[in-house]
């Protein structure tokens, strides 16, 4: 996962935002407890969503606890923690923490093969630091490690295929989240809903990442499914003309909107619970807002100081 699954803060109630931050901090704490302090570097918005969903599905009992931040002792944080006797809640946090670690390690391995020299050196250094955490996460949740490994292999095969297809390229991430989300429940009807949600959210995440990297990938001659679909290889080694970039952004947006439209029925069937408002905000407002920021405000280029 890539950090795109986050709430739209401007439309959140104050209590919802505080609860979201509390789960984020609770996941950070779980990473340190189960996989060591350095594992906190793998904390992500995407895995916070997974933790929220897991806690909601399991109807976990939680409590708020105000303590010093584990990363900044001068700052006070409100942690949403498992209630003393709730093993389900503790298990949800541990599973989300393991997902943070496993996804980060596989991403670092991918960077070792695909990125430039300096990024490969950084990835190699960080990969060495995460070995211990990865071994423990693999022991705790071997099925998760296997699912992510399979996703990585299928992704490479799809991107190396003679004929590139958006559907085939997005399928491995979609199938990974389908498996992970369905595994949060033992009720068959609920598993189908969660699997459907996971499948289209995973598809959206992959396509959003591809859309975000499109201009950079074209310039650096890296694989991108949208570049293949839109035949943008002629613009390698230079910037995309404004009209070409605009047309590409519109095409990406249309594909992403179609994916969200197929996800929404499953999102509407999620079980009600203490995080319903937060989950709805993320799925129905946060994801479209992320599309707007990346495709039409070009937030990435502005952060990197490039003209748009």
Per residue in 212-249, pLDDT (tens digit) is: 999 989 988 889 999 999 999 888 777 888 999 999 99
Which CATH number, 3.40.50.300, 3.40.50.620, 1.10.600.10, 3.30.70.260, labels domain 9-303?
Answer: 1.10.600.10
**In the prediction, which pLDDT does 84 show?**
82
- 36 Ramachandran zone, left/alpha/beta (phi>0; psi -120 to 50): left
**In the prediction, which pLDDT does 277 show?**
97
Share of the chain above pLDDT 70, in %: 90
Q: Is pLDDT of 2 > 50?
A: yes
Q: What is the mean pLDDT of residues 95-100?
A: 97
Alpha helix (H) residue ranges in the chain: 14-35, 45-57, 87-114, 117-129, 131-140, 142-159, 166-182, 188-212, 214-219, 225-230, 242-268, 276-281, 287-291, 299-303
**In the prediction, which pLDDT does 131 show?**
77
Q: Is pLDDT of 306 > 70?
A: no
Domain ranges of the chain: 9-303
Per residue in 288-301, pLDDT (tens digit) is: 999 999 999 876 66
Share of the chain above pLDDT 90, in %: 68
């Amino acid at each position: 996962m890539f950090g795109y699954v986050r709430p739209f803060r401007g439309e959140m109630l104050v209590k919802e935002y505080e609860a979201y931050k509390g789960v984020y901090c609770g996941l950070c704490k779980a990473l340190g407890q189960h996989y060591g302090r350095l594992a906190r570097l793998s904390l992500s918005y995407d895995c916070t969503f997974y933790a929220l969903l897991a806690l909601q599905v399991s109807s976990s009992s939680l409590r708020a606890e105000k303590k010093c931040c584990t990363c900044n002792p001068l700052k006070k944080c409100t942690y949403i923690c498992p209630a003393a006797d709730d093993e389900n809640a503790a298990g949800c946090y541990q599973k989300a923490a393991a997902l943070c670690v496993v996804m980060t390690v596989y991403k670092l391995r991918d960077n070792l093969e695909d990125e430039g020299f300096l990024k490969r050196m950084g990835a190699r250094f960080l990969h060495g630091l995460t070995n211990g955490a990865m071994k423990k996460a693999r022991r705790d949740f071997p099925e998760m490690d296997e699912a992510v490994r399979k996703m990585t292999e299928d992704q490479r095969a799809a991107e190396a295929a003679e004929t590139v297809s958006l559907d085939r390229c997005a399928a491995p991430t979609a199938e990974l989240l389908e498996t992970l989300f369905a595994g949060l429940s033992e009720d068959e009807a609920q598993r189908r809903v969660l699997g459907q949600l996971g499948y289209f959210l995973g598809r959206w995440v992959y396509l959003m990442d591809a859309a975000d990297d499109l201009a950079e990938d074209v310039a650096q001659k890296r694989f991108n499914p949208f570049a293949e679909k839109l035949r943008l290889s002629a613009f390698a080694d230079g910037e995309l003309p404004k009209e070409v970039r605009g047309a590409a952004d519109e095409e990406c947006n249309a594909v992403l909107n179609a994916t969200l439209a197929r996800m929404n029925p499953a999102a509407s069937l999620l079980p009600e619970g203490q995080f319903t408002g937060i989950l709805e905000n993320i799925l129905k407002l946060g994801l479209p807002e992320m599309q707007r920021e990346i495709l039409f405000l070009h937030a990435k280029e502005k952060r990197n100081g490039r003209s748009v």
